[in-house]
């Protein structure tokens, strides 16, 4: 009868940024939260998507999943923030472009000359 033992991450004894998993030293991946991108996209007119992207980006930084060594969860949240940021930027650019085209191609009716003073 075999006993299942989950792999446990152990910090290195010298305090280096590597961690040991299954007996192999692996480098800690950098945290990618894409906070600058999501803050920039908040100026685009696709606000519901922008806010959700910003929330995912902040969750990577401040929920502690990265600091609790949940690197896969942090990576997934960062990828969601990146994808939503790109979608909101493209959608905002499309909204601005369509508004500009409609604004500058609309011809106003000339004033009616019957009521001339």
- In-domain check, residue 14: no
- In-domain check, residue 117: no
Q: How many CA atoms lie within 13 A of 1 on its CB side?
A: 0
Average pLDDT, integer, range 17-42: 75
- Quote the number of domains for the chain: 1
- In-domain check, residue 63: yes
Band of residue 66 on the pLDDT scale cut at 50, 70, 90: confident
- In-domain check, residue 19: no
The DSSP bridge partners found for residue 25 are: 20
Supply the pLDDT for residue 102: 92
Q: What is the domain range of residue 72?
A: 29-106
């Amino acid at each position: 009868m075999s006993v299942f033992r989950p792999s446990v991450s152990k910090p290195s004894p010298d305090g280096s940024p590597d961690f040991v998993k299954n007996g192999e030293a692996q480098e800690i991946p950098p945290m990618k939260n894409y906070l600058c991108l999501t803050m920039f996209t908040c100026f685009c007119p696709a606000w519901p998507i922008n806010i959700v992207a910003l929330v995912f980006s902040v969750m990577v930084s401040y929920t502690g999943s990265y600091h609790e060594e949940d690197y896969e969860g942090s990576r997934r949240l960062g990828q969601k923030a990146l994808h939503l940021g790109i979608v909101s930027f493209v959608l905002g650019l499309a909204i601005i472009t369509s508004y500009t085209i409609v604004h500058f191609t609309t011809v106003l009716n000339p004033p009616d000359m019957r009521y001339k003073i």
